[in-house]
Amino acid sequence: MAVTLVWFRDDLRISDNPALVAAADSGDDVVACYVLDEETEGIRPLGGASRWWLHHSLSALGASLDQLGVPLVLRRGAAGDVIHRLVEDSGAHAVVWNRRYGLAERTADSSLKSSLTNRGVDATSYQANLLYEPWEVTSGSGQAYKVFTPFWRACLTFRTPRAPLAAPDSLSSPDGPGLDSDELPAWGLLPTEPDWAQGLRDTWTPGEAGAHERLDDFLDGAAQGYKNSRNLPAVHGTSMLSPHLRFGEISPFEVWHAAQDHKDSSTAEDIRVFGSELGWREFSWQLLYFNPELATVNYRPEFDAFTWESSTQAELEAWQRGRTGYPLIDAGMRQLWEIGWMHNRVRMATASFLIKNLMIDWRVGEKFFWDCLVDADAASNAASWQWVAGSGADASPYFRIFNPVLQSKKFDPKGDYLVRFVPELADAENVHEPWKGSAPGYPAPVVDLKESRERALSAYKALSES
């Protein structure tokens, strides 16, 4: 019986998985594999929280594939070499995978495709993880859009996202002893000493079933009123699907269609706004596709001349540990530490504080988030940090400096979010401005908001005049 090898990457699901469907439809025996690639040059190693997620996601995928009759083979190494070895071991005549869009990933995939083809092995890739391929909907000049609204309008006019594909009912596996596979725990993806993952375990269920549960909960609950409640960090007002989308445990096509099917006259506007958030994910990937160095190089080169003040290590650590003396910033950074995720509004405020009030290079923040977020995404993280810095596409202007006190008064007026993540504020006389009264155990502000704002504005002015 002929064998097709399915190579799973950022698509850890069995439903709406075009590569898996193609293998099932071929009638071949199927071998499924995942390669932990920490060797191919340019592929960014996962951060700690993402490694935790990957472990559990692979474990869930393995269980789903077992039910379909196919074990998940785990191997480690430079993926190009490992896939060739798997082709030899399995005798596969074809390899299928779903596309990735980072430059290093694309380079590795296209060189693998050529070497497989040269060897007489069919190699086919599919669109699975973005609603629109980054090159499909470009600006008039064939480049990436610079502004989100026309990009997203053009996408929606270009094509309605295709319907999701059903998971195969069953797969056939080659007879015989099965291929050698690493043991997942031996990859050491989970933290041990210390084990900082308790909050992650309490919050998340990595894997396809967990992803669909999140989607259903969202559509039955927070979707109604999403347009407003998505701004309130104390409320469970967003889908929390980001890590599931990041690891491809659910596809954007599944999310898109489930949301559209759920739409009625009372939720139409909420669903439109939710759809446009998926659009920001698409926009970020188009930016990364056309600007592969988005995580390290200013999208707007004029920002290269910006002089970052060298803030002290103590200030950076205060930000990282949620001890800046500004409740919204501290609650956000502690939420990040506790559950590996932070509310979007608070991500904007904490990033603005690092970049503008502490005047620390956005790349330092991008890296820290990369390590701590369970949804750390090469495109969305880089694009969002540059958006806040003002150096990105369609960016928030540099002079827009989030005031953490006004933000918490407006979006968390009772301080519920603040106290949830900074419990010592429960006894503060003034939860939004604790320095104005007694706040036992809570630090004094690391910088003065007004002075640091003026310092940032004058640095920006100097840049725009240079």
β strands within 64-138, DSSP E: 72-76, 94-98, 122-126
Question: Is 280 part of the annotated catalytic residue set?
Answer: yes
Instruction: Please state, in angstroms and rounded to a whole number, the distance separating the CA atoms of residues 391 and 465.
Output: 16
Of 331, 339, 348, 425, the residue at the interface with ligand FAD (CB under 6 A) is 348
Residue at token pair 């949620």: 322
Question: Is 387 part of the annotated catalytic residue set?
Answer: no
Instruction: Please state, in angstroms and rounded to a whole number, the distance separating the CA atoms of residues 242 and 252.
Output: 10
Of 90, 291, 380, 407, the residue at the interface with ligand FAD (CB under 6 A) is 380
Instruction: Please state, in angstroms and rounded to a whole number, the distance separating the CA atoms of residues 284 and 239.
Output: 19
Is residue 381 within the footprint of ligand FAD (CB under 6 A)?
yes
Of 79, 131, 171, 278, the residue at the interface with ligand FAD (CB under 6 A) is 278
Min dist. Cβ of residue 336 to ligand FAD (A): 10
Sign of CA dihedral 127, 130, 135, 139: positive
Which one of 344, 424, 430, 433 is the catalytic residue? 344
Is residue 377 within the footprint of ligand FAD (CB under 6 A)?
yes
Which residue stretch of 3-11, 45-53, 167-175, 376-384 sits at the interface with ligand FAD (rule: CB under 6 A)? 376-384
How many residues bind to ligand FAD according to rule CB under 6 A?
A: 27
Q: Is the peptide bond before 194 cis (omega within 30 degrees of 0)?
A: yes
Residues at the binding site are 226, 238-242, 274, 375-377
DSSP H or E run through 72: strand 72-76
Sheet holding 94-98, edge to edge: 72-76, 29-36, 3-8, 94-98, 122-126
Is residue 280 within the footprint of ligand FAD (CB under 6 A)?
yes
Is residue 271 within the footprint of ligand FAD (CB under 6 A)?
no
Of 375, 390, 408, 432, the residue at the interface with ligand FAD (CB under 6 A) is 375
Residues at the binding site for FAD are 226, 238-242, 274, 375-377
Min dist. Cβ of residue 401 to ligand FAD (A): 14
Of 57, 384, 407, 408, the residue at the interface with ligand FAD (CB under 6 A) is 384
Strand, coil or helix: what is 133?
Answer: coil
Which one of 52, 280, 319, 341 is the catalytic residue? 280
Number of Cα atoms under 13 Å in the Cβ half of residue 357: 25
Which residue stretch of 64-72, 81-89, 257-265, 341-349 sits at the interface with ligand FAD (rule: CB under 6 A)? 341-349
Is residue 246 within the footprint of ligand FAD (CB under 6 A)?
yes
Strand, coil or helix: what is 144?
Answer: coil
Which one of 39, 187, 196, 308 is the catalytic residue? 308
Instruction: Please state, in angstroms and rounded to a whole number, the distance separating the CA atoms of residues 418 and 232.
Output: 12
Length of the chain: 466
Q: What would the two tokens of residue 234 be?
A: 């104390």
Contact (CB, 8 A) for 367 and 50: no
Of 256, 289, 369, 411, the residue at the interface with ligand FAD (CB under 6 A) is 369
Is residue 363 within the footprint of ligand FAD (CB under 6 A)?
no
Strand, coil or helix: what is 6?
Answer: strand
Residues that bind ligand FAD (CB under 6 A): 230, 238-242, 245-246, 277-278, 280-281, 284, 344, 347-348, 351, 369, 373, 375-377, 380-381, 384-385, 388
